[in-house]
Homo-oligomer: A and B are copies of this chain.
Amino acid sequence: MEYNFANRISGLVPSVIREILKFTSNPDIISFAAGNPAPEAFPAKEALEISQKLFSTKPVDALQYGVTEGYAPLIEKITEYIKERYNVGRDFDSVIITSGAQQVMDLTTKVLCNEGDVIICEEPSFIGSLNCFKSYGAKLCGVEIEDDGININMLEEKLKEHPNAKFIYTIPNFQNPTGITMSLEKRKAVYALAKKYNKIILEDNPYGEIRVQGEYIPPIKSFDEEGIVIYAGSFSKLFSPGIRVGYVCAPKEILSKMTVGKQASDVHTTVFFQMLIFEWMSNYDIDIHIKNMQDIYRKKLNLMCDMLDSELAGFLSYNKPQGGMFIWAKLPDHVDMLEFCKRAVKNSVAVVPGTAFMTSEDRKTNCIRLNFSTPSDDDIVKGVKILGKLAKEY
């Protein structure tokens, strides 16, 4: 039978990164291509302890259907957490639990965008979000990202140009893939522009807790007195990603639509892991965990930067990020970036070609994305040395 697929899906190509990920399940390949959090930071012992407790004392609650909005005690806990730490959430806001922060992108697009509507985003940006937006037939409008965040003038131009833009998508902290952190001034400017042009902001903050240097900068949502910011948070880095627990803080009117959308998508997020996260936040010292996690990431970032500086100085140029999981590195103009990535894989090191993160394939970039959180220290040393050797061939 010949299948007729929906227009929305026909144009979508599988995420290059996830395709590379599959390829790199080959254990002989050193992967700087993944987007996995550092497994050394997972609270595995805590997961064991809490799961024993939950399945011993509340098995039926942990296994039965839950409500779509999420496990009420966890919603309350997260509401406190983001208010106390980030000043996120006003009286008009509420929180619902999602199946990872990815589902926040999905639900936001589902409830806000008709086919053909425009979404304004940083360029480059996280491919998982870009693909999600495209899967609803939304059109992407990229705005270049500078060392201190999105280009504000260009953002305003695009807002003027696209009155049917539905929202502005941004990752202010240690952006994926560039690692760039948006300055406080720019966060305020983005908020002011959204207000001026009557647009929603979708603020994605998956990496907020893995700052390893520099000063804390409050999220855009912390300025939100107007109810125009949808804030996506996640436990994928703070706890672990396999559990698929994220959340969204947004005005209640938007959340009630998202809840209807989520009912139709997956009914609710795994109850057991919502209970587990609640127990973890209630009975363990999150601050010590965050500090340990930051130490692990800092050490790995420093190691990779030291190696890049010693093996690839003059070839790769990059700005050291203040946190997150990625280094965005530029190749010399005369080097064919895609060719370099292919040669790297042939030499058993996988990196992601920067084109993967552009709003369309015809946008040029000579950058690659390097992940430092997944590989072991040994692999970081070995892998960068291989890249260094490769660079000498140019």
Contact = CB atoms under 8 A, between A and B. Distances in A.
Given A1-B227, A254-B3, A63 B260 contact: no
Given A14-B263, A42-B59, A100-B267, 6 more contacts: A6-B114, A14-B260, A42-B64, A44-B55, A65-B242, A102-B266
Nearest to A65: B241
A226 interface: yes
A251 B1 CA distance: 10
Copies in the complex: 2
Contacts of A228: 1
B128 A110 contact: no
A102 B100 CA distance: 17
A111 B5 contact: yes
Interface string A7-26: 11100111100100110000
Interface in A199-227: 200, 226-227
Given A110-B6, A257-B5, A270-B273, A265 B65 contact: no
Given A102-B267, A106-B265, A263-B15, A112 B4 contact: yes
Q: What are the 7 closest A-B residue pairs judged by CB atoms, nearest first?
A: A44-B59, A63-B240, A242-B271, A48-B55, A132-B264, A99-B266, A51-B51
Given A5-B257, A265-B132, A243 B14 contact: no
Contact of A47 (B9, B22, B59, B256): B59
A113 B226 contact: no
